[in-house]
Amino acid sequence: MKTKPLAVLLMVVGLLMVSGPAFAHHSEAAYDLTREITLKGTVTEFKFINPHTRVHFQVKDEEGNVAQWVGEMAPPNNLRRAGWTRNSIQAGDEITTTVHVARDGSKQADIVTLEVNGKVLRGRER
């Protein structure tokens, strides 16, 4: 009878050990969550795919230089529950988005909110 509780304990410990990388994948450590900026740009591509939906967009600075940005959002299933579809954003749409920028200075961001066609959409639930 003592082997059954031991087997269950070992199985639970084993599952906890292998689940660590799965939780680490969803870390937002790459983004500076203490700082939000607002960007206005034009969508070049919308990828409504797993594991994270992505919006590729171009932003012009004051001098007219164009920078290509990539914004990451929640998985499609999460966004569907909030009313999103793969057609919610189209290439050529003008967007205003509030983001957490990448810590490494790259043009990658975690989207907090995104406004397109007069509708404000949340990037992910926190």
- Domain range spanning residue 80? 31-122
Encode pLDDT of 10-64 as tens digits.
666 665 555 444 444 556 788 999 999 999 999 999 999 999 999 999 999 889 9
The pTM for the full model equals: 0.75
Encode pLDDT of 54-108 as tens digits.
999 999 988 999 999 999 998 999 899 888 899 999 999 999 999 999 999 999 9
- pLDDT, residue 24, reads 47
In a domain, 108, yes or no: yes
Give the Cα separation of 56 and 52 in Å (integer).
13
In a domain, 77, yes or no: yes
In a domain, 49, yes or no: yes
> Tell me, what CATH number does 91's domain have?
2.40.50.140
